[in-house]
Each structure stands twice: as structure tokens, then as C-alpha cells.
Amino acid sequence: MKTTFLLSLICIVHTFFSLKTTTIIIHVKGIENTQGKIQVGLYDNSNDFPKYGQHIEGVSVEPSTGDVYITLENIPEGEYAIAVWHDENEDKELNTNWVGKPTEKYGFSNNVFGTFAPPKFKDASFSIENNDTKKLTINLE
């Protein structure tokens, strides 16, 4: 009984410590002012992408004119997509005009944009694996 317990414990500890994680470094370009926050959401499925509050990891950072670098750490291997927007008035919404066109700058991983809608998860997605550091550049438009 003790042997079975000990072997089970060793297997659990090995599995826990062998989970492969990686770091994602996001270079956000095209920030025009220092008002508000830069909002970043990391998504792992098409049902939630790019809904605010549905991300698996979210970061809010102070903007600086030009570029900002954001680091997400300990991300498990998998397929992900990123949505970024400059929330200038800090209302946690991507504001739009009367026809629905965003009035705040935004961008997605792979620098893809949809037509009259956000891009699809499959178009914005990327894979991470093998404990690598993934570097992405996202241009705000």
C-alpha cells in the first residue's frame, strides 16, 4: 500500500513539474497618446475570442507614446490568440461610432482584422510549445 501511494505521489509530482510553459512577449506598436490603459487579452478558444472578460489572462498597462512591451509568463503549451486595444477613457469597452467602427485603436495577433467584425480565432491564433519565448508584434489601427 505504501509503495502504491509513493509511486502515485511521484507520478503526480513529475507531471506537475514537467508541464511545459512559455513566455509571450507582445510588442504593441502605434500608440498615439498616454491616456487611459492598454488592455491585452489572451484567449484559447473561438467561443470567447475576443470578448472582454472572457480571456484566460488579461493585462492592463500604462501606455507610452509609440510602443509598449508586455510580457505574459507561465503560459501552457497550446493555441492562443491575442486582442489588444487602447482604452483611452478607461471604461473597459472598445468604443465605437454610430456605425459600429471602433474609435479607439485596437489590434490582434498575426495583425489580422475582420471585415465589419473581429477576425476569426483561427486567423489570429498562434501556437506555443517547448518552453520557448514567443515574440509577437501587434500594430494598433
Per-residue pLDDT of 109-130, as tens digits, reads 999 999 889 999 999 999 998 8
112 in a structural domain: yes
How many domains is the chain built from? 1
Is residue 39 within 8 A of residue 50, CB to CB? The reply is no
The predicted model scores a pTM of 0.84
121 in a structural domain: yes
Domain assignment of residue 70, given as a range: 21-139
56 in a structural domain: yes
Question: Quick one: three-class SS letters along 54-87?
Answer: CCCEEEEECCCCEEEEEEEEEEECEEEEEEEEEE
Write the CATH number for 30. Answer: 2.60.40.10
Per-residue pLDDT of 63-96, as tens digits, reads 988 899 999 999 999 999 999 999 999 999 999 9
d(CA 77, CA 19): 8
31 in a structural domain: yes
